[in-house]
Amino acid sequence: MKILIVDDEAPARDRLTHMLGSIDDVSSTGEATNGIEAVEMVQSLRPDVVLMDIRMPGMDGLEAARHLTEMDEPPAIIFTTAYSEHALEAFDTSAVGYLVKPVRQEKLETSIARAKKLTKAQIATLNQETDSQGRSHICARIRGNLELIPVDEILYFQADQKYITVRHLGGEVLIEDALKNLENEFEGRLIRIHRNALVSTNYISGMEKNQDGRFVVTFREIEDRLEISRRHVAEVRKFLKSR
């Protein structure tokens, strides 16, 4: 059984590696220091189990696990955590493997033996128990692989039937989601300009009228123009004046 260790602290990774060495038919296949590295390494190394720290810089363990569930065959995930008893009750209710730091050998062996795949429903339950301010990255499936797009580099989301185009500094990708969900998750960072479009407040440069006399949003960094519906013109104008 191949196991990937994910923790931002080297002593914690070293300790887990040492402990795994005494378990039969188990081997450490690699180490990651944050959630972004974890997602990348899972795709290349295909571990059976991920030992995932929760509190990490850049991307925490909960968000990384959420992205990993998008894989066709996600690994089993066991969280290593120093969370409160209240949060641990949520893990237990969702049948999620967890280990309280400092990890004990017998607990590690038991968790690995009964590790179960984390489902999207379980991740949703866990996210309700955290103070997450929204994902740091958006996950898209590109030819069977996962691509992580930093939210800070996203210019806009535009819906087209069941898909949403994510326009970012490096190009664009398609995801399956709902604009309303994105609007709620990233409240304060996005502004709705149309029933089918949300734009990043960081990249709006202004608004102008096009040749048809309709208002459009202009952006920094790119030449795209997105139409503003009549009901949202006043809101966009108010935002631009308040900056």
pLDDT, tens digit, 9 for 90 and up, residues 192-210:
999 999 999 999 999 999 9
Q: E strands of 12-168, at which residues?
A: 27-32, 49-53, 76-81, 97-100, 137-142, 145-150, 154-160, 163-168
Cβ-based neighbours of 106, under 8 Å, separated by 6 or more: none
If you average pLDDT over residues 76-81, what whole number do you get? 87
* pLDDT recorded at residue 99: 86
What is residue 94's three-state secondary structure? coil
pLDDT bucket at 117, cuts 50 / 70 / 90: low
31-40, 79-88, 142-151: the lowest-pLDDT one: 79-88
**pLDDT top residue among 224 and 61:** 224
Lowest-pLDDT choice from 85-94, 131-140, 147-156, 199-208: 85-94
Per-residue pLDDT tens digits for 15-26: 999 999 999 989
CA angle 149, 118, 113 (to 5 degrees): 130
**Helices 120-128 and 85-93: crossing angle, nearest 10°?**
160
Over residues 42-65, the pLDDT tens digits come to: 999 999 999 999 889 999 888 898
Domains along the chain with CATH numbers: 2-128 (3.40.50.2300), 137-242 (2.40.50.1020)
CA 44, 136, 67 angle in degrees (round to 5)? 40
Contact 11, 80 (CB under 8 A): no
Hey, what amino acid is at 51?
A: L
Q: What is the pLDDT of residue 174?
A: 96
Per-residue pLDDT averaged across 158-169, rounded? Answer: 94
Query: Which pLDDT score, from 0 to 100, does residue 156 have?
Result: 98
Question: Which pTM does this prediction carry?
Answer: 0.76
Rounded Cα gap, residues 228 and 199, in angstroms:
11
CA nearest to 110, candidates 41, 43, 26, 229 = 26
% of the chain beyond a pLDDT of 70: 87
